[in-house]
Structure 1
Amino acid sequence: MANNRTDQEKLDALIDALDDSILEASDEDLLEELRMRGVDPDAEAARLKTMMLGTVKAFRQRALEAARAAYSSQIKKMEKKPYSLPKTPKERRQLFSLFTQQPQFAEFVTAQYRDLENLTDNDIETYLEDLAELGILEKLDRDKTNGE
């Protein structure tokens, strides 16, 4: 009878035989085989443990990495978003004052920003830029337009 097995089938049979010989070998035989090949069993075990722990850690942190990527993407979109602020410090103070007086936006203003007299023009401009990047000034403008 002719042997009609494919090369893949022959390779699979060899791998199965090797698996069986490894499973049947004693621990001492396997350790001796490693040492004969110049492999330090303890160092190899430590290397494999580190590799497996790294793989598990990477698997567990997939969601974190996805969240970081989404956060980074959102920040880039916010930074590219065009907005315009009033040109003069007086107009910016008026806008900021209007903003701080709106109850629906009170949660966005910390106590340190509620006393306009103690804020520099740069403080107000920076805070307005932050609010514009977050889209809050657009909402204030829409609410003001709809209310008039």
Structure 2
Amino acid sequence: MKFAKIGIILLLMAILVVSGCSDSKENPEEVSEIAVDLGVDVISTSFDDLGVVYCDPDISDDEIAALVNEEYKGNFVQWTGTIYAVTNNGKSYTAQVRHCPDSLSDAAVTFKADQNDAASNLIKGQEITYVGRITRYRDGGGGFWVEEASIVSE
């Protein structure tokens, strides 16, 4: 009976893999263990997925906002960038993270409260990989707002 249950579980897993159940644009191996543990579907594992458009000074804020609203808003991403600044509002930490070469900050990343200990150790210039939900894009240089974030690496 035990082997039958294991066989059924393995069969279901194989069906999910073959059917392409995940919406991730990258290989599942590239999604962090943290994202898997959180049970979130990461739609992008590299800012480069969006950076070609976002970092191009010839692309308008309206075009970027439309792309973000259509494909990214409400979804989880796993991106790596460089810390520009870190603030604490008393409940959680927010890091301003740079992804484009010529910017100071492209994303305001607000970490979940259970990340406070790790986030309190973040410093300017440090590279960070995080998983979080894009909640909005503020045109005019405001960048992305990423919430419910967890630190993958410091």
Q: Specify if TM > 0.5.
A: no
**Which has the larger strand fraction?**
2
Query: TM tier, shorter chain?
Result: under 0.3
Which structure exhibits the higher relative contact order, with contacts defined as CA atoms closer than 8 Å and separated by 6 or more residues?
Answer: 2
TM-score, scaled relative to structure 1: 0.26
TM-score, scaled relative to structure 2: 0.26
